[in-house]
Structure 1
Amino acid sequence: MLKCNLEITHFALVMSFINFLFFHFPFFNFVFSNIDYKSFNGIIIIISLVVAMIAANFFAFYLFLFISRYFGKFLLILFFNINALAIYFINTYSIIIDESMVGNVLNTNYDESSRFFSIKMVIYLIFLGILPSIYIIKTKIVNVSAKKFFKTFSLTLLFLLVLIFVNAGNWLWIDKNSKTLGGLAMPWSYSVNTTLFYIHKHKRNEKEILLPKAIIKDHKKAVVILVIGESARSENFSLYGYKKNTNPYLSKTENLYHFNATSSATYTTGGVKAILDYKKTDDLYEILPNYLYRNDVDVVWRTTNWGEPPVHIKNYQKRENLMPNCKGEACNYDEILLTGLKEQILASTKDKILIILHTSTSHGPTYSKKYPPQFETFKPVCNSVELGNCSQTELINAYDNTIVYTDYILHNVIEDLKQLKEYNSTMLFVSDHGESLGEKNLYMHGLPLSIAPKEQYEIPFIVWVSNDSIKLKPNQMLSQQNVFHSVLKFLNIESPIHDENLNIFK
């Protein structure tokens, strides 16, 4: 049984060892997979990382506990419980906790986050979080003199600096893999990246950068419906050659085009921002709906999702806004976004209209809950949030059914537009990012783009136009940046920032 009376130095060291043993298997699994661990240099890297991990955590824990035993204990309890949840998600979904993943977590709403709940997650939390917390609470910490503290603190810091100097020859490898290593080191992965997330968020949101004035060039009625897909990867669309018929409606639709495309990010906030931005940038420029609304276009945003940049328009409609006018089972799914859509377009007093539908149809891990029962075309399906417990056949079947349902929703959007005879109309469907479905033992999305597999960034870019007179350029490969400039072109809006090279229409 562990002692319940420990000197602060010994307690910090014990906590560092426990933290190392409980939470760093994924970290060293990555290291062993990416170096020659049998070579002398590989052995040096591994030993150095083990020692550095324990020493760095001891350094921090020792400092926090000396400042205040209560504050230090509170932080340790917080770290262990968050570590337990973090390591559950890393082991279950093969994620890396970088700044973008922290953004995903902080921007996820309750409805989506509750879908990740599982018994396995509770077990992780109890054994790796709550039980160590009980030990932390019960242990009586014996303080040391300021002289002894500064001596130990200084020696630890000196040791870390010497370790860094000794490994100077390995910094190239460490730097190359720093994003992954940093995203797997506990508790630094989320603590550092949460700080960075809020620093960058504050910087971005200081002031929206307005774009130059645009001019509507004619009075011809035109409407664009931009459907932003969620986690839809092109690989599973039969339009793109997938062997299973996941596009029974779109495959028979005239004036429909599909293009190969890539996303600018593997997470929702980054992907949606890229779709709405006029150029690839981290700055907070005025996004497409805000820009067009300010320049006298009727703009409507309907969403069952989250994660978009700040939207400043009059008609911003969430599920709860649409629910009173929706009837039937479809109201529980993304079909709710189509409620009264045609009527809203016809009621507009403007010549130019932009409708944005932000869906959530293919968002995991509960793919089988994202479509009505009649769309369960492929069986059997995965019904577990622990995707690794399902066979890949079950997992892919459930995901493919979300694509079948997406096909049906897009078909209905097109049918509504067909009835608007006095309008030139187009529908653009672009996904925010792709999705991993067990390939290379990866699930869902959110890996840094530099190391993400193609399943997480190869996305569908589908275009329908209302008549043969509207021609498209023979594009080979598109990106999310094509959306902004193509919408301006279709609505015949002149702007100094319009880039004809990024416009898909002739």
Structure 2
Amino acid sequence: MTTDPRAFLPGRLTLSPFTLNLLVSLWLLALTNGTFWGHLFRIFDGRPLTALVFAGAVWALILLVISLLAVRRAQKPVLVALLLIAGVTSYYVDKLGVVVDREMIQNAMTTTFAESRHLITPAFLGHVALYGGLPALLVLWVRVRRATVWRGIGGWVMVTAGAAGMVVGLLFTDMKAYSTVLRADKELMGSVQPLAPMAGALRYAKMMFKSTQIVVQPTGTDARKGPYLAAAEKPVLMVIVAGETARAANWSLGGYGRETNPDLAARDILYYSQATSCGTATATSLPCMFSPLTKADYSYEGGLSHENLLDVLAHAGFKVEWWDNNTGHKDVAARLPSRTMTAADGAEFCQPECIDGVFLKDLAEKAATITEDTVIVLHQIGSHGPSYWLRYPAEREIFQPACHTPELTECTTEEIVNAYDNTIAYTDHFLGQVIDLLDAQDRVVPAMFYASDHGESLGEGGLYLHGAPDFLAPDTQTHVPMVLWMSERFRASLALDAACLADRAEQPVSHDNMFSTVLGLLDVTTTARDAVLDLAGPCRTGASG
């Protein structure tokens, strides 16, 4: 006799385990995979039957995964989890064009609540409740008619084998076409919910497990100050600004129709108009920017296993610090002093979230007291979305009307672009302020190097935000701004030829150049510096350091 009080609820439906799994798999494929269906009928345009057979194979694959995981007492918890996962991920995939892969899982795991809360909107909650929460409640409500253990095992084997057989059998009806699609159109299976995020989570877990066994290898321990740096009469101060989500397409320095860079245009800077990023999200690009590895060689494990640019500068005798107004240094400053900016550093810039002006007071004070060669990294909040309007002061809302909600699909394209352009204009203003306060401090020999970690999509092709995988990433997410400012005394002290550097700024560059170029600019001699990637070394007016 059952003791479950839910058994006495009137009208309660009773289903077999297989029927419940079948219904959930159909719900998942039909109602949480809008992007998948769009890709499917685009790829198999004019061949609806071929498309539906492929969809049948994907449904069988979902059923197979459910059958493997949702066994006996674990059935309902597994089904509820899968429904909620699909409810969450389908919102970002279908509404914002996001691909939930390993890199996106990594971004989610390394973000902060202050950053992620802007993605939790009423529309998001409503979507999750309808497509994940409601069916999950129904799963919990229905009764499951359990067979005996041995009959249950037999049924499980039959269903699992049948689902696996369906996957193979349906694909073999046109294996040539399907195999070509699976190789060439990775976005198709990358959009299947909840299989794609589950695969991404497994890859992320594997990556994190491997990272626990990493031993950091020293890099550039032979680094020393070259003759020009050693002979400088005053301490050298380089500020490296690690930008956030700035795309080159919206920089007027690169030809954008709006005047988004008036401050930098009025200063003696070099703008690298053909710079590309290592990745499309902070978790990848930020450590890659500072790594001695190129994009072709970089991996999460590889980045962790090598000391980076900041370590090499410390080996050369620089005092190095990391100041953060974002989501942390992603292990780039793991062996060096770091701090997070708060309202105590500039209350007028934190209401409640801090915009990048919060760096200025402490930077001015630091520049006025420096007694040794120093590198300070400022990690911006920059243009991080979707709450673009929170990244600049209200009085600097130049382009109007601007989108004032993180629910980007509720704004017009004009409003989104206006808000985003205001963030670029504020970054321009901020960088101009950094340059001015450095140039005004005559006790140091200053320079500033700026590079954005990645770009942003503003609705082009149905894509918003960033984090697209390499095979799908548009230029707007990989073409980034890069800026170099050198004071006259920096150029003179370190014997740098301005005309030569300007010529090299017209060439294609990337994050690959940053490691060696910063070392070259600062006249740091080390075997870790790659002469091919160093944009500054060949531009010395005298013998190379």
What is the TM-score of this pair, normalised by structure 1?
0.93
CA displacement at 1:22 relative to structure 2 = 1.4
Q: Which moved more, 1:364-373 or 1:242-251?
A: 242-251
Question: What is the distance in 1 between the residues matched to 2:288 and 2:210?
Answer: 18
Q: Runs ≥4 in structure 1, deviation > 4 angstroms?
A: none
Question: What is the distance in 1 between the residues matched to 2:330 and 2:486?
Answer: 28
Q: Does 1:486 align with 2:489?
A: no
> 1:136-185 CA deviation, whole Å, 9 max, x = no partner?
1111111231223323322332332333444421202211123x123211
5 Å-filtered alignment, 1:289-438, equals 289-306=310-327, 308-310=329-331, 311-320=333-342, 323-329=343-349, 332-350=354-372, 352-438=373-459
Question: What is the distance in 2 between the residues matched to 1:94 and 1:76?
Answer: 25
Check whether the contact 2:270–2:502 (CA below 8 A) recurs between aligned residues.
no
CA displacement at 1:339 relative to structure 2 = 2.7
Check whether the contact 2:84–2:133 (CA below 8 A) recurs between aligned residues.
yes
Question: What is the distance in 1 between the residues matched to 2:470 and 2:160?
Answer: 38
Check whether the contact 2:402–2:419 (CA below 8 A) recurs between aligned residues.
yes
CA displacement at 1:43 relative to structure 2 = 3.0
Question: What is the distance in 1 between the residues matched to 2:11 and 2:218?
Answer: 61
CA displacement at 1:2 relative to structure 2 = 9.4
CA displacement at 1:417 relative to structure 2 = 1.4
Check whether the contact 1:473–1:504 (CA below 8 A) recurs between aligned residues.
no
Note closer, same or farther for the CA distance 1:78–1:116 as it changes in structure 2 (3 Å cut): same
> 1:18-72 CA deviation, whole Å, 9 max, x = no partner?
111111221010122233x314xx632x123221122122222223333x33x22
| 3-state SS in 2 of match to 1:157 | helix
Question: What is the distance in 2 between the residues matched to 1:215 and 1:2?
Answer: 80
Q: Which moved more, 1:256-265 or 1:433-442?
A: 256-265
Note closer, same or farther for the CA distance 1:198–1:65 as it changes in structure 2 (3 Å cut): closer
Match of 2:65 among 60, 68, 77: 60
Question: What is the distance in 1 between the residues matched to 2:311 and 2:77?
Answer: 44
5 Å-filtered alignment, 1:57-456, equals 57-66=62-71, 68-69=72-73, 71-144=74-147, 145=151, 146-169=153-176, 170-178=178-186, 180-205=187-212, 206-213=214-221, 214-217=223-226, 218-220=230-232, 221-280=235-294, 281-282=298-299, 283-284=302-303, 285-306=306-327, 308-310=329-331, 311-320=333-342, 323-329=343-349, 332-350=354-372, 352-456=373-477
CA displacement at 1:473 relative to structure 2 = 5.4
> 1:253-303 CA deviation, whole Å, 9 max, x = no partner?
124444320112111111112211122111122121233224421111111
Match of 2:17 among 8, 13, 17: 8
Share of identical aligned residues, percent?
25
Match of 2:49 in 1: 43
Question: What is the distance in 1 between the residues matched to 2:65 and 2:146?
Answer: 16
> 1:309-340 CA deviation, whole Å, 9 max, x = no partner?
312244301023xx334342467311112232
Structure 2: unaligned runs, 5 residues or longer = 1-9, 540-545
Check whether the contact 2:275–2:510 (CA below 8 A) recurs between aligned residues.
yes
Note closer, same or farther for the CA distance 1:114–1:255 as it changes in structure 2 (3 Å cut): closer
Note the aligned Cα RMSD (angstroms): 2.0
| 3-state SS in 2 of match to 1:9 | helix
Question: What is the distance in 2 between the residues matched to 1:83 and 1:422?
Answer: 58
Check whether the contact 1:299–1:313 (CA below 8 A) recurs between aligned residues.
no
Question: What is the distance in 2 between the residues matched to 1:111 and 1:373?
Answer: 20
| 3-state SS in 1 of match to 2:49 | helix
What is the TM-score of this pair, normalised by structure 2?
0.86
CA displacement at 1:241 relative to structure 2 = 1.4
Q: Which moved more, 1:400-409 or 1:239-248?
A: 239-248
Matched AA of 2:49: I
> 1:92-151 CA deviation, whole Å, 9 max, x = no partner?
211111211111211221011111122211211211111111111111111231223323
Matched AA of 2:68: L
CA displacement at 1:479 relative to structure 2 = 0.3
| 3-state SS in 2 of match to 1:448 | coil
Structure 1: unaligned runs, 5 residues or longer = none
Question: What is the distance in 1 between the residues matched to 2:39 and 2:248?
Answer: 29
Check whether the contact 2:279–2:454 (CA below 8 A) recurs between aligned residues.
yes
Q: Which moved more, 1:73-82 or 1:218-227?
A: 218-227
Check whether the contact 1:333–1:370 (CA below 8 A) recurs between aligned residues.
yes
> 1:193-252 CA deviation, whole Å, 9 max, x = no partner?
011012123324522232131122325232211111111011111111112111121111
Aligned length, in residue pairs: 496
Check whether the contact 1:229–1:431 (CA below 8 A) recurs between aligned residues.
yes
